[in-house]
Structure formats: C-alpha cells, structure tokens
Chain A
Amino acid sequence: MASVTGTSFSMTSFKASLAPSSKVSNLKSVSLPINGKSFAPLRLQTSRFRVCCLAKGDTLDKVCAIVKKQLALPDDTTVSADSKFSALGADSLDTVEIVMGLEEHFGISVEEETAQSIATVQDAADMIEKLIQKKN
C-alpha cells in the first residue's frame, strides 16, 4: 500500500504482516520417561501451539485457563507460556483478579510486591510452583 515512509500501518496490514506474537517461539525439547527409561528428546507440540513443560503442565494449563476466563478470550485464542498479560489486554484490575483467582485455586498467598514481577503466564506458573513448595 502507498505510504509516506517505509513502515506503513493499517488495520488490514496487520493481518498480512507476521506480527511477532503470531510466531511459534517456544517449542522446547522434552524427554518422555516411560517405565523409568528416558526416550530421545521429542518436540512436543499441541494443536494450539501451546507447549507445557511436563513438570509444570498442569500449573501452566490452569494459569492459561484462569487468564482466558478473566479476559473473556475466545476458546481458540493462543495463550502460551510466554504470553504477556498486558499484550492479551489485561489491565491492572484484570491482573489483580487473575492473581486472586490463582491464590484461590492453588491455595497460596501472593504478596503485592511479587505481583509486580509477573508479566507472563510462565512467570505466574513459576511463582505458583515456588509458593506451593514454600508451603509444603
């Protein structure tokens, strides 16, 4: 499209351009231990491009679910471990509600100062794991 300078913006050009958020950026290798033996590393990829580190799979899933519910995101929205709350449209009240939802589901207590450092879904999952460990 015609533009005065090199980079052009329009609502339609967004759909055409490969915005960073649409890239699959967090494929990791994990090994699947079965019967005590580790298999060679496999690339794990769900149909929604959501990768869960096995040890924290449930936690990540639950965080994703709570975030989607709070932000009223459609079911087919891609929410991955490195999704930033702010990029998903969460404002400060959303973030606080998400933290409260996580506290209630996981039975933990999050200090306000800790909430500052939570920017992504993975950050939230890591914080939860840490707090659960501290509790036990």
Chain B
Amino acid sequence: MLLLRLRVKFMMSIGCFQRNLCAASSPLVPVRPPSPMETHLWYILPDEVKSSKLLNRYFELLSPCEKEKVFRMHGDQLQQRTLLARTLVRTTIARYQTNSHVHPRSFKFKKNIYGKPEVEWQDLEDWHLPPLHFNLSHTSSLIACGVTVNSPIGIDVEEKQRKLRNNVLRFARRYFSPYEVELLAAISDPEYQRQEFIKLWTLKEAYVKALGRGFSAAPFKTFTIRFRAAMERAIHLSGHRDSEAFDIVVDSIDDPENLTNNWQFALLELASSHYAAICVEKDGTTGGKGTLPMKLTVRRTIPYLEDECVSGTAAVVAISGMT
C-alpha cells in the first residue's frame, strides 16, 4: 500500500542567501485551519532541534513572563523543553491566519479558573478567524499541541516505555475507578498491564484537560473510560483491538445522569515512541447513535525549518477512535 508522505522543507540554497540569514528569514508555512469536524495535532521532537541560532529565534517569540519561566526550570533539558512548548503553541496558532500575517509573539495567554491556558483573542487586531482551541502536552522526548476550532480539546502524551515507580494495581486502586481497576487486574502479563495503564492514564488526562478542569477538579475516580464495541456487542478483552471496532467512551460515576456522550476520544501511537490521547467535544449537530472516527491530521514540525504531515505514515498508528 502506498503511503502518501507530504514533506514541505525549506532548503537553504547557498547561491541565494547566506546560511545564517536564511535561518532568520524563513517564514512559517501557513496552514488552513481545522474545519469544525477536524482536529490537528502538531509535535516537535526536541532531539531534532540542536541549532542555537534556531533556539535563539524561538526565544524571541516568548513573552517576558514565558522567558522567566524558561529560566526557572532546572537544567538545560527542561529549559529547552519549556522553550519549545511555548514556541510550538505560538507558531502553530500563527500559521492559521493565512490571509494576514500575525506574529507568533503577538499572542497573549490567560488561564481559566482551573488554570487551563487559553489565547486572549480580544487583544488581537489581525485575527479574522473563529477562536481556536489548543492544548499542550509534553514528555522529555516529544512536545505536542492539539488544535480545534469551536471545540474544547485536551491531549496527553506519554512515553510508551514509561515505568511507574509504584505498583500499577496499587496506583490504580488509589486513583482509578473500580471498573478500570478490574480491567487492569484481569491482565496477567505485567508488561501488557503497564501499557494498558499508560493508555488509560493518557485518556483520562486528555479528558480532564478537555473539560478544562485538570486532575484536581475532576478526580480520576469519579469517571470511567472504557472501550465499547462499536456494534454494541459485549467487549472481549482480547490482545488486539481493531481501531474500527471499538470506540472510547466516558461514564460519570457519581453522576450517572451527567451527559458524557458529547466527548470524543482518539488514542494512537505517535512517532513510534509515545501514546497520545486526544479528547474533543463533539459537534452537537452530528447527533445520532455511535461516534464517527475522529478526523485527525498529524504534523511533525521544526518551526521555521521543516514541516511534515505524518498522517498515514508509520509515525501515526491508530489504536482506537480514529481512521
């Protein structure tokens, strides 16, 4: 099967420019904003960003507050991670204003009452699109930003190899719902159990981040995330889940009447190294039973240097909830 690979790369031809001027002057590649039914996911791999000139350029995009925050992080690696996270969100949102140029530096951010970051849209003069929603997540080896229009979004990424310090079941009993504990306890292979735990964690994190409330305001014990057979059959806990056969749903435990079927999930393997979970609020107009798979476009980026659409490649392996 032929995999389409779209690669947009700025090649600095020595004949036209000096190398350092090129790094300073290459623009951000504009991108059409996501449609109301779409989700965009962008990611940076910190190991791919080595150039101090590029890092300098990124640093200049940050607000004074963000710069201070970078310096407060302990050590080079954490400082670079923080820098790249702010760079990713600023440059990503700036790309979507395709008609007029909005500088990534011009965005101001605020936090909702639970601390979820949002863009201050009213301060922007040149923004002519509906407000975009975004959410960030990062590990030491990957920084990701999800973007939607008109729909709250939460994402979480975790390294596939991540080991818990605590025992998985003890942790689950303390923080997860009884259903989820039972599901994990039924897995006899410790490595498979650990993987399923990580996947469940990312889904639960993505959900509370989409809610805008975070872990503390939406304790993990108060809701269950589970895989539901798309045909409403009984679930078989087999080793393999066909991405098309299951969708991911959330049930509220202490408030069964609470409308939770307006949240849509996708779970995937990203860059061969991470699990990524995405949660978005469904468009109320779709209605009907069941859930259409999430329409997700994934791009790897080094802002100002390189963008690559990786949907349909080995960098994106759907686990559930997406095509």
| Residues of chain B contacted by A103 (CB below 8 angstroms) | 174
Known A-B contacts A8-B56, A97-B166; the reply to A113 vs B216 at CB < 8 A is yes
Q: Is the CB of A116 within 8 A of B74?
A: no
Would you give the 0/1 interface string for B181-217, flagging 1 where the beta carbon is closer than 8 Å to chain A? 0000000000000000000010001000000001111
Separation of A9 and B74 alpha carbons in the complex (Å): 15
Q: Is the CB of A9 within 8 A of B59?
A: yes
A31 at the interface (CB under 8 A from B): no
A27 at the interface (CB under 8 A from B): no
A84 at the interface (CB under 8 A from B): yes
Q: Which of A37-72 contact B (CB under 8 A)?
A: 69-70
Known A-B contacts A3-B56, A101-B165; the reply to A11 vs B74 at CB < 8 A is no
Q: Is the CB of A21 within 8 A of B55?
A: no
Known A-B contacts A21-B71, A21-B73, A92-B205; the reply to A101 vs B166 at CB < 8 A is yes
Q: Which residue from A11, A87, A92, A97 sits with its C-beta under 8 Å from B72?
A: A87
Stretch at the interface among B1-9, B77-85, B223-231, B246-254: B77-85
Closest to B175 in A: A96
A65 CB to closest chain B CB (Å) equals: 13
A83 CB to closest chain B CB (Å) equals: 8
A34 at the interface (CB under 8 A from B): no
Q: Is the CB of A11 within 8 A of B73?
A: no
Closest to B56 in A: A9
Q: Which residue from B72, B81, B162, B219 sits with its C-beta under 8 Å from A21?
A: B72
B60 at the interface (CB under 8 A from A): yes
Interface centre among A7, A15, A112 (most CB of B within 10 A): A112
B17 CB to closest chain A CB (Å) equals: 16
Known A-B contacts A3-B56, A96-B175; the reply to A88 vs B74 at CB < 8 A is yes
A24 at the interface (CB under 8 A from B): no
B223 CB to closest chain A CB (Å) equals: 12
Would you give the 0/1 interface string for A69-100, flagging 1 where the beta carbon is closer than 8 Å to chain B? 11000000100000110011101110011001
| Residues of chain B contacted by A92 (CB below 8 angstroms) | 205, 214-215
A33 at the interface (CB under 8 A from B): no
B158 at the interface (CB under 8 A from A): yes
Closest to B52 in A: A10
Q: Is the CB of A7 within 8 A of B59?
A: yes
| Residues of chain B contacted by A17 (CB below 8 angstroms) | 71
Q: Is the CB of B71 within 8 A of A20?
A: yes
The number of residues on chain A lying at the interface, defined by a beta carbon within 8 Å of a beta carbon of chain B, is 35
B76 at the interface (CB under 8 A from A): yes
Q: Is the CB of A19 within 8 A of B71?
A: yes
B22 CB to closest chain A CB (Å) equals: 15
Separation of A132 and B74 alpha carbons in the complex (Å): 31
Q: Is the CB of B201 within 8 A of A93?
A: yes
A116 CB to closest chain B CB (Å) equals: 3
A36 CB to closest chain B CB (Å) equals: 41
Separation of A52 and B222 alpha carbons in the complex (Å): 37
A4 at the interface (CB under 8 A from B): yes
Separation of A19 and B69 alpha carbons in the complex (Å): 10
| Residues of chain B contacted by A96 (CB below 8 angstroms) | 175, 215
Closest to B202 in A: A93
B116 at the interface (CB under 8 A from A): no
B109 at the interface (CB under 8 A from A): no
Q: Is the CB of B60 within 8 A of A116?
A: no
| Residues of chain B contacted by A9 (CB below 8 angstroms) | 55-56, 58-60, 67, 70, 83
- Which residues of B line the A interface, CB within 8 A? 24, 52, 55-56, 58-60, 67-68, 70-81, 83, 138-140, 158, 162, 164-166, 171, 174-175, 201, 205, 214-217, 219-220
- A sample of 13 cross-chain residue pairs with beta-carbon separation below 8 angstroms, ordered by A number, consists of A9-B70, A19-B72, A69-B165, A70-B165, A77-B74, A93-B164, A97-B166, A101-B166, A112-B220, A113-B217, A113-B219, A116-B214, A116-B215
The 7 closest A-B pairs by CB, nearest first: A9-B59, A116-B216, A112-B219, A10-B52, A19-B71, A89-B78, A112-B216
